[in-house]
Amino acid sequence: MASTTIHVASGQIICRPGDIEGNLAQIEQLTRSAAMARARLILFGEAALTGYLFSDKVLDQAVRIDGPVMDRLRRLAARTEVVVVPGAFERSADGLHVSQFVVYPDGNILAQRKFNLTEDEKRSMVPGPEERLLFKVGGVTTAIGICADNGSPNIHRATRARGCGLWLWPAAGGGFRNTIFKPQDLSVAARRKDYMDRMNKVSFPEFAVEKAGELGLAVVSANLCGDDGEHKFHPGHSTIVDCHGRVAALQPGEYIAEWQCPCFIHSEIETLI
């Protein structure tokens, strides 16, 4: 089976719901850094542009594929020559979607809309198609599974059978705000154990290594960071794993809000074609 290499990146931003300008500024900063590292693609978390919060304020700012936010991302991709893949709540002709955009340097934009909606999402959002959109980056056939889409039976095997070699997994996973720790908690044995138990859940790329071992899929994942101010706290975590299961890069999660900051990981990896 033939293979090739591609240089990819995963970016974590401190996402503030409804603050598209602030979120976009962080995406621009990390994309420029990825370009300097010579990455061909950078993935950002689910709803990174808008924030993952189902309030009227955030839903009213859902972006359009032909709107000014996408125009700004087109210019960013053109300047950096990087394929930028951010998530957002999207407003289309048939309603609201949880979407992931693929913004090419030539100005072309694709949208993968989430199929497997959570109960919270079903109250506001319309599902997209179950079959994955396939697209090329650097000669590598690529697909996106947005968070819970990865729980759809056989979705990875069916997409791999269609020639996919690189799987992108953006997420907005986290817990309630009471999961936030303070630095001083690490000096208390019981709190320290709780912290490490939670960190272990977001620090090892089990999904990616499993899919590489089963199907030969290379995987890039990206999760949100930050406190949404109302309900949830997103600890982050990013992973890059090649088609053999080699963990090429890892940014572990962080449950101490003061220690979170915008960051990215990158690596050249082998993928099947």
Beta bridge partners of 167: 143, 219
- Distance, in Å, from the CA atom of 80 to the CA atom of 140, rounded to the nearest integer, reads 19
Q: What is the mean pLDDT of residues 227-254?
A: 96
Locus of tokens 């053109």: 78
Length of the chain: 273
Reduced to 3 states (helix: H, G, I; strand: E, B; else coil), residue 245 is: coil
Locus of tokens 């976009």: 24
- Distance, in Å, from the CA atom of 217 to the CA atom of 240, rounded to the nearest integer, reads 11
pLDDT in tens, 31-84: 999 999 999 999 999 999 999 999 999 999 999 999 999 999 999 999 999 999
User: Is pTM beyond 0.85 here?
Assistant: yes
Tokens of 181: 């720790």
Report CA 30 to chain centroid distance, whole Å. Answer: 13
In this prediction, residue 201 carries a pLDDT of: 85
pLDDT in tens, 75-119: 999 999 999 999 999 999 999 999 999 999 999 999 999 999 999
> Percent of the chain scored above 70 by pLDDT?
100
Residue-averaged pLDDT of the chain: 96
Q: What is the mean pLDDT of residues 237-245?
A: 97
| Model confidence at 202: pLDDT above 90 | no
Single-letter amino acid, residue 108: N
pLDDT in tens, 13-22: 999 999 999 9
Reduced to 3 states (helix: H, G, I; strand: E, B; else coil), residue 252 is: coil
In this prediction, residue 63 carries a pLDDT of: 98
- What class is the 3-272 domain? alpha beta
- Of 143, 163, 161, which is closest to residue 100 (Cα–Cα)? 143
Reduced to 3 states (helix: H, G, I; strand: E, B; else coil), residue 241 is: strand
| Model confidence at 1: pLDDT above 80 | no
Q: Which helix (H) or strand (E) holds 167?
A: strand 166-171
pLDDT in tens, 162-191: 999 999 999 999 999 999 999 999 999 999
Place 263 in a pLDDT band, splitting at 50, 70 and 90. Answer: very high
In this prediction, residue 103 carries a pLDDT of: 98
Place 146 in a pLDDT band, splitting at 50, 70 and 90. Answer: very high
